[in-house]
Structure formats: structure tokens, C-alpha cells
Chains A and B, each alone.
Chain A
Amino acid sequence: MKKETSSEEVTAANEAPASTTRRRFLGSGLAASAGAVVAGSSAATALATAAESAGDEVLEIPASNKILGRGVVTVPYGLPSKFEADVVRRNVEWLTPDRAASISFTPLQDLHGIITPGGLHFERYHAGAVDIDPATHKLAIHGLVEKPLLLTVEDLRRLPSHTAIHFLECPANGAMEWRGVQMDSVQFTHGMISCSEWTGVKLSTIMEMVGVKPESTWFYAEGADGSALQRSIPLPGAKDQFGKPLPEFDQNEIHKDVMIAYAQNGEALRPENGYPIRLIVPGCEANMSIKYLRRIKFTTKPLVTYQETRHYTDTTDDGRIRQFTLVNEANSVVTFPCPDKHLTTPGYYEIRGLAWTGRGKVAHVDVSTDGGKNWKEAKLVQPVMNKCLTKFTFDWDWDGKEHIIMSRVTDETGYVQPTLKQLREARGLNSLYHKNSIQAWRVLATGEVENVQLPTV
């Protein structure tokens, strides 16, 4: 019997990381009591299981101790454990008419650090993902420059490299929650954000190479996919189409961190994220970080593209439309507990979450467990970096009663994340984009967690 099990294991292992033996083992009550309580199972069941296992049972040797495992390169490009099959990007079918002009969400509830694995980075397409051969791809840099240049991917890889960890956030992150509670899942309320280590060439390096003329006050970038997406990015002196200057920060700070990336988390970009090269405009709405980048042109005015007039502009309740709302203001969310990750038994829990700001670094995160009446400062997990996700933790002894948990970030400019009430008062209910208000989760006595809003405080 033992022999059979082990050969079955090895055979299965050679095909894929599958093992029926392990599944049987983990299916036992013993494993469940060890904390493998999946989201969705009620806390009552969990409590019962925990009580059962408190006997005198002598633990058996795990089956995995008694087999030979898989050899090297059985899986040449490593994949997550099959027990993590639930950790995937998800989309919301009713949100968009077509998957090629749609969005998927990062499963924040299952991520433990600030880096989003490449395969879980949220996707946003305007004409689907394309496969572009880096050997033939070209990037043109032209317009108000001394020396227009055509660069290949190989050229870019020769240049002084720049590596930095930055988040990318779709300005529609949270959009579905402006009018009320819709999504009982942190993946859907906040999953339009991901964070990666990007490697590439700084825009400033390229600007020096082509000799950008001083009269340039904008540049625009364009992609090589079917949407040929294009966005205008301000430089010092940038004015809008009416001649009004852009905010100081937008004119002077945004461009400094801009880069052309060819790598993400140490490997080539993923096709979903713009392979072979993309623009990264740190801190700004991710739509500006043009994927499949093929052209940059320096100009004296913005294009005012489709994405800068019909979308990614914010309807305010004075009946007007706010444009060039480029920076993602400070935001935070508790990722544990959350509607996707319930509590089991009363006692100690580490509350965890993520905070970020497009205007630099996170300075403080405060956590409330009483619906925002009282707050205590959370610990920031180092490193805390510029325009990057910051993880925070907060020690909590759950008394088994109902609580409303919230997090609130303050960034280094002193900006404090607003309440939903403040945001609605300032902008109304039709704004859609840039919803960065404090998120509330209600922990029920059963340990279940639900999405709630506190519209009056």
C-alpha cells in the first residue's frame, strides 16, 4: 500500500503539481483544525472543529513524509500550489460589455506583501492583450527634440537601468461603491491596484539623449495595441487646453519618476502588462502608464484624448467635469480581516492592510475597531517607499463581539484619507473615479465580515 501511494505520487507529479494523496490528507478533520478554514465556511463550524481536536489524539506521520517528491524542472516555470487555486484575478461580468475592453481585479485578500506576483497584476484593456515580438518592436521619441530617435528593446536594455517599486492603480478603483455597498469582497472594492518592482530606463535619461527642447511643456505616449491608447503627461510649464496651468505637483513632480519599463518583478513584463515595454507614470492613474509603448512625442500642449475627456474625468455635483485628475490621492484598506477572509475563534488577530499615496510616501496609518470613533496608530512594515504600497499591521484581541474595522492613511504631505461622507459632500455621487474614502468592514459575532458604509460620520 505504501509503495503504491508513493509511485502514484511520483507519476502524478510528473504531469503536474497534483497529488491525490495530499488531497486526502488535507481533507481530514485534523488538517482543518490546524487553521485551514476557507472563506465561506461558517465560523460556527470552525469553532466546533477546533473543539473536537482538543482531545488526546496522537498525531499520525503525514503521508508527505513517506513519499518521494517531484524532481527538478518537473514544472520548468514554477506555479503556485494547487491548494492556492482560488488565488486568481477575477472580473465582474456585468461591468463591461466586452472582455477586450474590461478590467480584472487583483486578489488582495490572498497577498501577504507589497509585491503583486506578475500573474495576479490587475488587467485593464481597451482592445485586449497582444503579443509583440521584442525583436521587431520599436519606440520612437520625437517632437520638440534636437535628435529624434528610434530605440529597440535591445537599445533600451543597454542604457543605464533604473529599478523602483511602484503601485499602479486604476482611477476606477472603488468606483462601484460611490452610491452604496455593492461588493462583499476586497478583491472587488480595492483590487484595481497592484504593485511591482519595475526595471527600465528613466525618462530623464531618454530626454537627455534626444535633447528635449525647453519649450516642451507636455509629452504624450502611445501604445502599439489595437486601442493605440494615448495619454498626455505634463512637464514643467504645462497648461491645459484653456491656458490654465496644471497644479504645481503635476507640472514639477510627476515626470521625475517616469520610466520606460521592460521588466516587472525581475522578469520581462507580462503580456497583460505591456510586454515588451510600457511607460510607468508612478503615483498617477494607471491609464497613463501606456502599455506596449511605441511612441513618445514632446509637445507644447496636451492632446486631450478620448481617455482625457470621456473617461477618467470626474463629474462633480456642480454639473461640471473635472479633468486631468492625474494623481491617485492617499488611500488604504484592511485586507485582513475582510469579507473574503473571516475570523474563527475569539482571541488574537493581526489586522493587516495596505496604504499608498501618489504624492510620495505614507506617513501614518491609523486603525479603528469601533467604527471610527477612536483610532490607534498601526505599525508600518518597512520599507516605506515613494509611490509604493506600504503594508501595515495592528495587534488586536477580538472579544467575539461585533466590530467595525477601518484604516486611515496620512501621507507625507499631511493629507488625511477622507471619509465617504466628506468625499460625497465635496464631489457628489456621480464622480466615479478616484474614490479613496475610508473603507469599513463589519466583523459579526459569527466571525463573518461584511462590507458596510457609514454615510453620516
Chain B
Amino acid sequence: MSNSPLSKSIKTLLTGLIPAVALASAVSCAGTSGEQDKKSESEDTPKITGVGTPIKESQLAKWDISVFFDGDNLPPGKGTLTEGEEIYQAQCAMCHGEFGESVRGYPKMLGGSMEEYIETAKHNENNVAIRGINNHWGHAPTLWDYIHRAMPFFAPQSLTVDQAYSVTGYVLYLAEVTDGSVEEIDADFIKSVKMPAADLYYTDTRPDVHNKRCMKDCYSGEPEIVAKQIKGNVSVGDVDK
């Protein structure tokens, strides 16, 4: 097949000389990666062979850095609270605040106390802004995993394993989850930390709302109607994210 069967047949088609079927076949010949019609599954459908390269788990050592909630796959290594403080103040504080209080709207390390969080939730007071590591994380190994893979924001995956232990230990201390009495931070220490919110989590129970498909006279009287207080597309102030 020549290099330009497609443009050639379009030319022919445009002058009205060849039917659309011919164009369709020209298109697939031209290799425009058109989808093949799905053949129905049958006995003689060929098995998929020869696609992809077999790989050993060991080849994925640098990629497989995911740590499970229970600390599975935490790598060997250790850090210290002292080094954690240095790293945090140099590479994290500009966004998360010297004391973990947040700067310019970046996430807090230290949120409201667990009690404050639960009470506000129960009384429907806005508690979005007080969420932090001490009240909205289930497992400390998750924190290690996240810092190691995604922080500092401007240079993800630049921390060494030891540095990740150091700074995770320090963040747990800043967030008042730990009391700072343990200087050496390693996998065993991270696994031993119980997050304050650990027992608050429960798996999906939806559908939790059961509306009915009412069509006529679904309520009586005049409903309360709440409109926006401030005109324009966006209001300001205390806002849920």
C-alpha cells in the first residue's frame, strides 16, 4: 500500500466516484488505529499471547512504595525527632506553619482536639476548618506513606526513607498525637502509634436516605425558601471545602 492511500481515496470520494465502503477500508489501511469491530467471543477466539513483558517483583522495588494502614511494606530505616524538626522547619513550615497551624490556607497539621471535632460534628457546627492529623486520620503508617510519596509539595519523592521517618515522627508530635518522648523514629514506632480518630471510621452504610417518588400534593403550606445573601457568583466568608 502506498503512503497516502487515505488522502488519495478522499480525493476520489470528493469527486463522487467511489462509494463510502471503499473509503472505510482505505481508512483502516491507512492505520489510523480505527477500532476493529468486536468479534463475538467464540471457541476460536485466539488467546492473548505475546503482549507485555514479564516482570519480577524485585524489579519493582523502587516503584512499590505503598504502605498499608497496618504498616505492611514500611521499609527498613530510621530517623530522629531532631532531624525531623530541621526538615520540617526548612521544607514544610512555609505552607503548614511553624507549629502546624497552616499558612495561606494550606492544610493544618494540628487540628482541633478530638473532643472538639466530635462535639462540633454532633451539633452540626462547621468543623471543616479544624480538621487535621490529630482528628481525621485513621492510621499513622498512612501518614508516613503520604509524606514519603507526596511531600514536600514542590519536590515530591525527594525525601529519603530515613528523612521520611524523621519528619513523620515530627509531624505526629506537632499534631499532638505523640508526646515527643521517643527520639528514634522507625517502622515499629510508626506502627505503634494509635491515631486519635482510628475508631471513628466505619464503612459505607448507604443508601441511608429513602425518598419516595411522590407525584401530587407532596406537602402543604408554603415552604421556607433560602436564597443567597450576597449577590454574584460566589459568596465570601466561612466556606466549606
Contacts A150-B52, A172-B241, A182-B234 given; 15 further ones with Cβ under 8 A? A95-B241, A97-B106, A148-B56, A176-B241, A222-B66, A301-B68, A302-B69, A303-B68, A313-B136, A329-B207, A372-B223, A375-B215, A426-B208, A434-B206, A456-B224
3 residue pairs, one from A and one from B, having the closest CB atoms: A97-B105, A304-B69, A319-B118
Q: Are A374 and B55 in contact (CB under 8 A)?
A: no
In the complex, what residue of chain B is closest to A423 when comparing beta carbons?
B209
Q: Are A451 and B228 in contact (CB under 8 A)?
A: yes
Interface check A23, CB cutoff 8 A: no
Q: Are A315 and B121 in contact (CB under 8 A)?
A: yes
How long is the Cα–Cα vector from A456 to B225 in the complex, in angstroms? 8
Q: Are A418 and B127 in contact (CB under 8 A)?
A: no
On chain A, the residues within 8 Å of B52 by CB distance are: 149-152, 155, 209
Interface check A178, CB cutoff 8 A: yes
With A244-B203, A373-B219 known to touch, is A297 a contact of B121 (CB < 8 Å)? no
With A149-B53, A188-B234 known to touch, is A415 a contact of B227 (CB < 8 Å)? no
Interface check B145, CB cutoff 8 A: yes
Q: Are A182 and B216 in contact (CB under 8 A)?
A: no
On chain B, the residues within 8 Å of A323 by CB distance are: 138, 201-204
On chain A, the residues within 8 Å of B203 by CB distance are: 240, 242, 244, 246-247, 322-324
Chain A interfacial residues counted at CB < 8 A: 115
Interface check B236, CB cutoff 8 A: yes
Q: Are A321 and B224 in contact (CB under 8 A)?
A: no
Q: Are B142 and A226 in contact (CB under 8 A)?
A: no
On chain B, the residues within 8 Å of A172 by CB distance are: 241
How long is the Cα–Cα vector from A218 to B116 in the complex, in angstroms? 35
Question: Which residues of chain A have a CB within 8 Å of any CB of chain B?
Answer: 92, 94-98, 100-101, 126-127, 140, 142, 147-152, 155, 157-161, 163, 172, 175-176, 178-185, 188, 199, 205, 208-209, 220, 222, 226-228, 230, 240-242, 244, 246-247, 250, 294-295, 297, 299, 301-306, 309-310, 313, 315-327, 329, 364, 366, 371-376, 404, 408, 410, 415-419, 422-423, 426-430, 432, 434, 442, 450-457
Q: Are B122 and A319 in contact (CB under 8 A)?
A: yes
Q: Which of B60, B202, B232, B239 contacts A94 (CB 8 A)?
A: B239
How long is the Cα–Cα vector from A317 to B106 in the complex, in angstroms? 26
